[in-house]
């Protein structure tokens, strides 16, 4: 009798546990790209969308929605204030988001305001011109800037102090050019910036490499430099680094996701488990490579520690340029 009761209790517990697992999978999963379509946030969301679908780790189709504004600030505030406990929503972030957080550009919320979920790849900064540009390499561009800094217009997916601005500011500082003398046009995301350059409205873009490589394959752009420690592998091996051209700058770009601060541990851990499984798959590695991202697999508390460390480093860097609010 006791054995039968024990079996019934065990079966009931197993059914309850299974119900909890089923309840953890969101019915309407969504990835927020905090910019207009076509940039790095869009790329990040669509990478997760494809990876989770193709692997069967997410049964329901995940939609990608766009929430531009403040290069991530509008989305960050909306998630915390309006979607704090939304278990179905993940939001893309990049190192540029962390740089803005370090400068207080996300309003009253800092890096502790959300639950950092997963980093799925690394991008690198890139300086790009149109294929018909007179600038053949990074030094051509720098020498032209030295002669007349205001003669060249940069397109950037942020305002002064943002990631795209910082990449060119670091190069300018090494070349002895005051970054304040450079001309910028700010756009809401890398996709809009690239479109403006292809249309001849700006001469140079500073962005993530993954945002411009599709146009590189189409032979519409020339990448003057990638901001990596050494040349990247595979089809990107022909792109010179800034370092090899005499400018000792590296700018890796984390690409990943966060969730609202009031998402339960069970809901958060469900997503973490899916990303842990996804990041271990060879087919996802291929998918990531197709989008010209390099491996980075960090989730949960490990990502939280990485984010907090990165924000502190960016605070110091922003202080050097007098940008901290």
Residue where a domain stops, chosen among 222, 250, 278: 250
**Inter-residue long-range contacts of 83-88, CB under 8 Å, 24+ positions, other chains counted:** 83/260, 84/260, 84/261, 84/262, 84/263, 85/260, 85/262, 85/263, 85/264, 86/259, 86/260, 86/263, 87/24, 87/26, 87/259, 87/263, 87/264, 87/267, 87/270, 88/26, 88/27, 88/28, 88/29, 88/30
The answer to whether residues 176 and 145 belong to one domain is yes
The answer to whether residues 146 and 244 belong to one domain is yes
For the chain, the domain total comes to 2
What pLDDT tens digit does each residue of the chain (325 aa) get? 444 444 444 444 444 444 444 447 999 999 999 998 988 999 999 999 999 999 999 999 999 999 998 889 999 999 999 999 999 999 999 999 999 999 999 999 999 999 999 999 999 999 999 999 999 999 999 999 999 988 999 998 777 888 999 999 999 999 999 998 999 998 877 788 899 999 999 999 999 999 899 999 899 999 999 999 999 998 899 999 999 999 999 999 999 999 999 999 999 999 999 999 999 999 999 999 999 999 999 999 999 999 999 999 999 999 999 886 5
Looking at residue 302, its pLDDT comes to: 98
Contacts of 105 (CB under 8 A, 6+ apart): 70, 71, 73, 161, 325
Contacts of 183 (CB under 8 A, 6+ apart): 149, 150, 152, 153, 154
Range of the domain at 270: 29-122+253-320
Q: Does the global pTM surpass 0.85?
A: yes
pLDDT of 265-283, one tens digit each? 999 999 999 999 999 999 9
The answer to whether residues 257 and 314 belong to one domain is yes
> Is residue 186 domain-resident?
yes
CATH number at residue 243: 3.40.190.10
The answer to whether residues 157 and 106 belong to one domain is no
């Amino acid at each position: 009798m006791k054995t039968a009761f024990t079996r019934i209790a065990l079966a009931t517990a197993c059914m309850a546990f299974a119900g909890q697992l089923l309840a953890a999978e969101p019915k309407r999963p969504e990835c927020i790209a905090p910019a207009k379509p076509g940039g790095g946030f869009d790329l990040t969301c669509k990478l997760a969308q494809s990876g989770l679908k193709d692997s069967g780790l997410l049964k329901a189709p995940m939609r990608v929605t766009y929430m531009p504004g403040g290069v991530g600030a509008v989305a960050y505030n909306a998630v915390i204030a309006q979607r704090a406990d939304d278990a179905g929503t993940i939001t893309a972030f990049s190192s540029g988001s962390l740089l803005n957080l370090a400068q207080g550009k996300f309003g009253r919320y800092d890096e502790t305001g959300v639950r950092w979920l997963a980093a799925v790849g690394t991008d690198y900064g890139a300086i790009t011109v149109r294929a018909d540009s007179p600038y053949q390499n990074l030094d051509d561009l720098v020498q032209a800037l030295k002669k007349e800094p205001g003669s060249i217009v940069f397109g950037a997916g942020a305002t002064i102090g943002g990631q795209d601005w910082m990449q060119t500011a670091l190069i300018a500082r090494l070349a002895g050019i005051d970054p304040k003398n450079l001309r910028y046009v700010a756009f809401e995301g890398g996709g809009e910036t690239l479109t403006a350059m292809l249309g001849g409205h700006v001469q140079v873009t500073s962005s993530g490499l993954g945002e411009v490589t599709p146009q590189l394959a189409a032979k519409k752009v020339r990448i003057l430099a990638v901001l990596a420690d050494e040349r990247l592998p595979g089809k990107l091996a022909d792109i010179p680094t800034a370092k090899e051209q005499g400018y000792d700058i590296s700018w890796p770009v984390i690409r990943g996701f966060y969730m609202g601060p009031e998402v339960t541990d069970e809901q958060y851990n469900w997503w973490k488990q899916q990303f842990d499984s996804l990041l271990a798959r060879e087919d996802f590695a291929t998918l990531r490579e197709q989008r010209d991202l390099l491996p980075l697999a960090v989730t949960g508390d490990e990502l939280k520690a990485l984010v907090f460390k990165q924000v502190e480093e960016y605070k110091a860097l922003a202080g050097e340029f007098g940008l901290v609010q």
